[in-house]
């Protein structure tokens, strides 16, 4: 759709949504009355700035059904966020919402290169988490053959992939790493794996992981993004043609990126907090929902021809950001640095402790098999590698790189291959903050 038509559609849908929630959801009527806004004041997406943000706390305060715009009996489905950060929040769907959920996921799959008739190995978790069922419905809508494997039971997953020969896989990037390692252990090369494309998401990942996963599974890996409050997976998806940012399905979810301190909108290319406004939601529409995810937007024309705006990779969540001795640190920044060091794998863990008043950061970094084989056996104790001469140099190199790039002194611990926690199907937490802040 040309951008002018898309804009006209958004304006119409936005006005309808604001009018709808004003009359159906007491929370929004009170909020809008408080700032003196009537639905007729919101005629275009440029008027959005007049509205306050909706934060996750509102969903908690009105738990479970306080923000519904429809009678409870009209709900077809209830999901909950996976609760990575705090108490889970409940999200509700009418039949029409489930229909849109299927539509945006079918669209995402097609955008990633999936086609009718292909087999989809769906290793996102099924259940309250939106990932499994969202992708599942999308695959069916597209006319694919869906295998609802869900997360975990890695041995069985590998067997099923070898037997069914799916072309498409959906899972978290960390679980794709786990699967890749399992294939390697079984001596199966990427060329022998039927998979062609992967839709990976639900947690932050970087180009390092993309390269590793593509090499081990023999796929083209694309990013899928979503959050339960907005619909689940299928809010945005990277196109297989360009793989340069994820197209946001903005005919359903209107995006903004704002300054984290001031809340003011930011121009293309500038990183800030991602905000979404529902344009077609029936059960629980949200206005200017503050995702806490940090990224930027770009309206540049995409090589694939789609006109939908793109978002960059998620740098992290606002609440994923560690503040260590006053320095802001996202785990993905450490990952970017490790990418440049051939002796180590993209598996790492960050442990933050506080010794009296001083924050200490330990970065556990895994050696590759090849390097590990050459480490003198007598320096390996339990899960840690003592520093002999060569290891000393490597450790110093990584510590210096991190200090130079991030302005933060850390202690690097080198550990043997496969000792850092792996994904067992769901989201992987790469940070352990033991500070009790
Ligand atoms: P929870 O907040 O409990 O994890 P969700 O399951 O709704 O609940 O997860 C949504 C969050 O997951 C997003 O807000 C974002 O932080 C993260 N996420 C989802 N997809 C991606 C992705 N492709 N890249 C980075 N982060 C993602
Ligand atoms: Zn594109």
User: Picking from 260-269, 381-390, 404-413, which range would have the lowest pLDDT averaged per residue?
Assistant: 381-390
Which protein residues touch ligand 1 with a CB less than 6 Å away? 81-85, 129, 201-204, 223-228, 291, 293, 314, 317
pLDDT at 197 over 90: yes
Testing ligand 1's pocket by substitution, the residue of 125, 226, 230, 247 carrying the most ligand atoms inside 8 A of its CB is 226
> What pLDDT is stored for residue 381 in this prediction?
66
Interval between CA 329 and ligand 2 midpoint (Å): 30
Does the CA dihedral 284-285-287-289 come out positive or negative?
positive
Give percent above pLDDT 70 in the chain.
95
Query: Which DSSP letter does residue 53 get?
Result: P
What pLDDT, in 10s, does the model give residues 107-135? Answer: 999 999 999 999 999 999 999 999 999 99
What pLDDT, in 10s, does the model give residues 273-327? Answer: 999 999 999 999 999 999 999 999 999 999 999 999 999 999 877 767 788 877 7
Query: Cα–Cα–Cα angle for 239, 240, 242, nearest 5°?
Result: 70
pLDDT at 357 over 80: no
Testing ligand 1's pocket by substitution, the residue of 101, 204, 236, 426 carrying the most ligand atoms inside 8 A of its CB is 204
Taking CA atoms only, the protein residue closest to ligand 1 atom 24 is: 204
pLDDT at 341 over 80: yes
Mean pLDDT of 7-28: 98
Ligand positioned closest to the Cα atom of 235: 1
Question: Which ligand 1 atom lies nearest to the CA of residue 89?
Answer: 3
CB 215 within 8 A of CB 208: no
Testing ligand 1's pocket by substitution, the residue of 57, 84, 92, 227 carrying the most ligand atoms inside 8 A of its CB is 227
Largest Cα span, the chain: 75
CA distances from 385 to 340, 365, 368, 412 (A): 21, 10, 13, 11
CB 286 within 8 A of CB 277: yes
Phi, psi of 277 (to 5 degrees): -120, 125
User: Picking from 4-8, 83-87, 115-119, 245-249, which range would have the lowest pLDDT averaged per residue?
Assistant: 83-87
Rounded Cα distance between 355 and 87, Å, is 29
Ligand positioned closest to the Cα atom of 247: 2
Q: If you count them, how many residues does the chain have?
A: 437
Residue from 78, 9, 89, 15 nearest 47 by CA: 15
Q: What is the DSSP string of 1-69?
A: --HHHHHHHHHHHHHHHHHHHHHH-HHHHHHHHHTT--GGG--SGGGGGGSPPB-HHHHHHTTTTTT-S
Rounded Cα distance between 223 and 311, Å, is 11
What pLDDT, in 10s, does the model give residues 218-240? Answer: 999 999 999 999 999 999 999 99
What pLDDT, in 10s, does the model give residues 72-100? Answer: 999 999 998 855 555 678 999 999 999 99
Taking CA atoms only, the protein residue closest to ligand 1 atom 4 is: 84
Question: Which ligand 1 atom lies nearest to the CA of residue 82?
Answer: 3
- If one counts every other C-beta atom within 10 angstroms of the C-beta of residue 85, the result is 12
Name 215's Cβ contacts closer than 8 Å, sequence gap at least 6: 180, 190
Ligand positioned closest to the Cα atom of 81: 1
> What pLDDT is stored for residue 97 in this prediction?
98
> What pLDDT is stored for residue 382 in this prediction?
62
pLDDT at 422 over 70: yes
Ligand positioned closest to the Cα atom of 206: 1
Interval between CA 134 and ligand 1 midpoint (Å): 14
> What pLDDT is stored for residue 374 in this prediction?
83
pLDDT at 59 over 70: yes
Rounded Cα distance between 181 and 189, Å, is 11
Rounded Cα distance between 184 and 345, Å, is 15
Q: What is this structure's pTM?
A: 0.85
Using DSSP's 3-state secondary structure scheme, residue 388 falls into: coil
CB 118 within 8 A of CB 166: yes
User: Picking from 206-220, 228-242, 326-340, which range would have the lowest pLDDT averaged per residue?
Assistant: 326-340
Using DSSP's 3-state secondary structure scheme, residue 411 falls into: strand
Interval between CA 389 and ligand 1 midpoint (Å): 42
Testing ligand 1's pocket by substitution, the residue of 88, 90, 225, 294 carrying the most ligand atoms inside 8 A of its CB is 225
Using DSSP's 3-state secondary structure scheme, residue 404 falls into: helix
Q: What is the DSSP string of 147-206?
A: E---S--HHHHHHHHHHH--SEEEE-HHHHHHHHHHHHHTT--GGG----EEEEESS---
Average pLDDT, the chain: 93
Rounded Cα distance between 203 and 314, Å, is 9
Interval between CA 291 and ligand 1 midpoint (Å): 9
Mean pLDDT of 253-264: 96
Query: Which DSSP letter does residue 5 get?
Result: H
Interval between CA 307 and ligand 2 midpoint (Å): 8
> What pLDDT is stored for residue 77 in this prediction?
98
Q: What is the DSSP string of 272-287?
A: EEEEEEESS-SSS--S
What pLDDT, in 10s, does the model give residues 46-58? Answer: 999 999 999 988 9
> What pLDDT is stored for residue 378 in this prediction?
66
pLDDT at 39 over 70: yes
């Amino acid at each position: 759709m040309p951008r002018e038509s898309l804009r006209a559609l958004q304006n119409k849908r936005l006005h309808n949504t604001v009018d709808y929630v004003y009359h159906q959801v007491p929370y929004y009527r009170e909020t809008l009355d408080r700032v003196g806004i009537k639905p007729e004041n919101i005629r275009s997406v440029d008027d959005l700035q007049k509205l306050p943000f909706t934060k996750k706390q509102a969903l908690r305060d009105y738990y479970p059904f306080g923000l519904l715009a429809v009678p409870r009996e009209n709900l077809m489905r209830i999901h909950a966020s996976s609760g990575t950060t705090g108490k889970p929040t409940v999200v509700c769907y009418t039949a029409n919402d489930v229909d849109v959920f299927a539509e945006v996921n079918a669209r995402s799959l097609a955008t990633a290169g999936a086609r009718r008739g292909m087999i989809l190995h769906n290793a996102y978790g099924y259940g309250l988490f939106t990932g499994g069922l969202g992708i599942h419905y999308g695959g069916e809508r597209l006319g694919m053959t869906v295998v609802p494997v869900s997360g975990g039971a890695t041995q069985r997953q590998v067997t099923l992939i070898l037997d069914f020969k799916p072309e498409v896989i959906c899972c978290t990037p960390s679980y794709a790493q786990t699967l890749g390692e399992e294939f390697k252990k079984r001596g199966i090369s990427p060329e022998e794996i039927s998979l062609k494309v992967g839709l990976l998401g639900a947690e932050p990942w970087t180009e390092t992981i993309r390269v590793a996963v593509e090499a081990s599974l023999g796929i083209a890996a694309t990013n899928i993004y979503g959050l339960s409050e907005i619909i689940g997976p299928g809010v945005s998806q990277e196109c297989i043609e360009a793989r340069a940012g994820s197209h946001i399905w903005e005919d359903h979810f209107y995006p903004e990126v704002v300054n984290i301190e001031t809340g003011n909108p930011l121009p293309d290319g500038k990183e800030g907090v991602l905000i979404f406004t529902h344009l077609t939601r029936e059960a629980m529409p949200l206005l200017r929902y503050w995702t806490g995810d940090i990224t930027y937007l770009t309206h540049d024309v995409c090589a694939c021809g789609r006109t939908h705006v793109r978002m960059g990779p998620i740098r992290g969540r606002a609440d994923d950001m560690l503040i260590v001795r006053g320095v802001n640190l996202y785990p993905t920044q450490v990952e970017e640095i490790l990418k440049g060091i051939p002796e180590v794998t993209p598996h790492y863990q960050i442990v933050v402790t506080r010794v009296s008043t001083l924050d200490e950061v330990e970065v556990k970094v895994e050696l590759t098999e090849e390097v590990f084989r050459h480490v003198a056996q007598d320096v390996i104790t339990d899960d840690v590698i003592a520093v002999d001469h060569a290891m000393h140099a490597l450790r110093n190199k990584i510590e210096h790189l991190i200090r130079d790039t991030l302005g933060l002194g850390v202690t690097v611990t080198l550990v043997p291959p496969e000792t850092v926690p792996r994904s067992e199907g769901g989201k992987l937490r790469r940070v352990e903050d033991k500070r009790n802040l």
